[in-house]
Chain A
Amino acid sequence: MKDTVMDCNAVFPDRITACSAAGRLTARLLRPAWQADAPPLVVLHGISRNAGTLARLFAPEAERTGRTIIVPHFPEQTWPNFQRPSKAARPDQALLALLDKIAADIPGVSGPVDIFGHSGGAQLAHRLAMLYPHRVAELHLVAAGWYCLPDETMRYPYGLAPGKDMASAKWARRKRAALRDFLHLPTSVYVGTQDVTRDAALRKLRALDAKQGAHRHARARTYVKALNAAARAAGLPARARLIEMPDCDHDVVRAITQNDLATRVLDARPSGISTSSRTIPQIQGDPT
């Protein structure tokens, strides 16, 4: 996975660490000077684990929109797997504990959150939302390598039909239990029109290619269609949309710096940029 800007470890004074049965997880916390009446945004990195870069690129958006932005970091050493809750790793539990810690520590930052995930982070984001739709307000998925489709004709983990083993049957059952609530979520799926490379990081299986497409661009289209079809089948409004980024490949930094991805994500929620919703902190004794 490519990044045109190196992770610079810029100074972000607020870091928060939460412990859970799944392990420790630390996040950068971007807290704007003013607080909009909108949920926090969680930004999940992909397998390049570029949390510092993402935090730096999203920082101006936190200030512009008054949104608290939370950027967790899953280090390679302690989180070799983080894209999918499984027996091997439970990033979902670590994230829940992190959100609980933030809600406990910071007044006004509680309730469901918006989630942005790029690549492997988008994999985690949509799986987290499938398990805990009550903790998510909106989803912004950018170029996941593959998806868990809301489709009971495909075996887990690619769909929701029980797999061959007990573990996959259990995970599929859990996601089916939350499916209706998950389908309610407004979901934006972003992908570059040039994200068509079958690079080394892309999972390549004949069945996956056949069902979801040969590359990330095709798989994003498949996913949006599947989400909306499942919603309609459940009698719900179709709330998934595909947003294609012209001339953009899989580089998230380029998507943010050249295609205004971060701005588009934050502006997807109108209340986040409404000046009328601003709460300007006042200095005690200020005559205003």
Chain B
Amino acid sequence: MTLSDILEQAKWTFSTRRVDRTRVAATDTDFATARPGDLILAHVDRIGQHRRVQLPSGRPSLIFPGDAVVMACGARYAPDQFEGLAEIDPAGADLLAGGGCIGRMVARNSQIRPATRLVPAARLLDAAGRTVNLADFALPPRHSAPRPPVIGVLGTAMNSGKTLATAQLVLGLRRAGFRVGAIKATGTGAFGDYNEYSDSGAHYVGDFTDAGMVTTYLEPLDRIKTATGTLLAEAGHRGCDLVVMEVADGVLQRETAGLIGDAWFKQLVSGLVFACGDAVAAMGGVAHLAGLGLVPDALTGMISCSPMASHEARVATGLPVLTKEDLSDPAEATGFALRAGLGRKEAA
């Protein structure tokens, strides 16, 4: 079977969605020098936590031992699952994320199964012998594109309700008549959030993979800021009036902390929503953000399911607690857009 046949039959994962497959002309097995974003062909060895991989078409695919899969080498930070590094051991590697991230697991949440094991087969090269890397297919910089205002969505942790809040706010803003972009600035590439943003009617959806990274974990802050700028410029280029931008994980996570602690972030966001699970988390999160000079416009997330917890948080922080129905309500969402300066232009 030729390389071409193997690659054609392989399951290319969601993180490779921007890759021009015709660029692949050769392979090597120099896994020791693999860098984040390099494309790796591997075979499924033993099924563990992930029983599926995500395809560029937006559907999950079951995987079976022996299946060939194309993924990107990358790290992973997911307190509910794994911590992993962008390292490929020729003897065996880990499927760190179903979106298509292969690396070495270094920590695992005790409530989940071990990672699905993979046997690396090849690193993909172009005709010049260079490794094919996601960064080769990143969006082009659009220096002259307008930068739409940004509403940031932060949270206490993974699964605090940020993605739902982002998607519902996109829906509310769209219903109010705005062209809305939805961006995920940090995290590890997967189609769940991407699809949820799209389903809510976002005019443009982008994440760090569109800017050339399979994950932002352990990436330099400047690269993440540049990638975010690229995504915002793309949203502006596509005609978005404003962008709702989710920053993954909790405010204490390495890259998120770096990003929101940077003066650049404070300048960037015109509005802020904070997702959390209970009133103490709300109080702590709001206090932490205040220390960074950031003041949320509203609380949301799992806390909003409980009227009692919401009441406690309102009293403790003085902020409104918005449910998903509130965020998707154009009457509520309009306030975010107007605060971002999308209302009537005042006479000079």
Contacts and interface: CB of A to CB of B under 8 A. Distances in A.
Interface of A: 20, 85, 92-93, 96-97, 99-100, 131-135, 170-171, 173-174, 177-178, 180-181, 184-185, 236-237
Interface of B: 175-177, 320, 326, 330-332, 334-335, 337-339, 342-344, 346-347
A184 B344 contact: yes
Given A85-B331, A93-B175, 6 more contacts: A93-B330, A132-B177, A132-B331, A174-B335, A184-B343, A184-B344
A283 B326 CA distance: 50
B311 to A, nearest CB: 9
A178 B338 contact: yes
A225 B346 CA distance: 22
Given A96-B176, A173-B320, A178-B338, A133 B343 contact: yes
Contacts, number: 63
Contacts of A180: 338, 343
Name the 5 nearest CB pairs between A and B, nearest first: A177-B335, A181-B343, A184-B344, A131-B331, A181-B344
A132 B326 contact: no
B330 A134 contact: no
B334 A100 contact: no
B334 A177 contact: yes
24 contacts: A20-B175, A96-B176, A100-B177, A131-B330, A132-B177, A132-B334, A133-B343, A134-B176, A134-B334, A134-B344, A135-B176, A170-B326, A170-B332, A174-B334, A174-B335, A177-B334, A177-B335, A178-B338, A180-B343, A181-B338, A181-B344, A184-B344, A184-B346, A185-B344
Contacts of A97: 175
A134 B343 contact: yes
A64 to B, nearest CB: 29
Contacts of B343: 133-134, 178, 180-181, 184
B323 to A, nearest CB: 10
A174 B332 contact: yes
Given A96-B330, A132-B177, A178 B344 contact: no
Contacts of A85: 331
A184 B176 CA distance: 19
A80 to B, nearest CB: 20
